[in-house]
Amino acid sequence: MDKIPLTVARGDDDKPRARPPEEKTPLAGYMAVGFGLLGIFGPAILFTPLGLLFSIIALLRGQGSWGFVGLLLTIGGILGSPILMGLIGVGALYVTFDWQEIMRPIYELFGGGVDI
C-alpha cells in the first residue's frame, strides 16, 4: 500500500477565504417595526399582515430584537383595529356557537327557507 501524504497546506489556494459580507442594516427589521407602527396608527387591515410577514422574515434572518419588536407592534395593531377584532370575533362566534340557531329569527323575519 502506498502512503498517503498528509499536509496542513491548502494546496493551490493559499489565500484565506473571504467571509460573505454581513448585512449592514437590518432592513427586514426596520420594515417590521415600520409596518407595525403603521398598523397601529394607520389602516390596520393593510399594514398588520405586512408587519407580521416582515417580523417573521426578520426573525429568520437573525434580527431578533427588531423582529420581536415588530411582532409586538403588529399584535398591538391587530388588537387596536375594530375591523380585525370583528373578523376574529365573528370567526370565534361561528366556531363556538351554532350559527343556524343564532340566525333563525332573522331567517324567519325575512321569510327565508320556505318549503315548497
Is the backbone of residue 80 left (phi > 0), alpha (psi -120 to 50) or beta?
alpha
What is residue 43's DSSP assignment? -
pLDDT tens digits, one per residue of 59-116: 999 999 999 999 999 999 998 888 888 888 877 777 787 777 777 777 778 776 555 5
Give the pTM: 0.60
Predicted confidence at residue 22, as pLDDT, reads: 66
Joined together, the cell numbers standing for residue 110 give: 325575512
Residue found by looking up cell 417580523 in the block: 55
Report CA-CA distances (Å) from 14 to 7, 46, 79, 87: 13, 53, 58, 62
Domain borders along the chain are 27-108
Predicted confidence at residue 76, as pLDDT, reads: 93
The Cα 20–Cα 13 span in angstroms is: 18
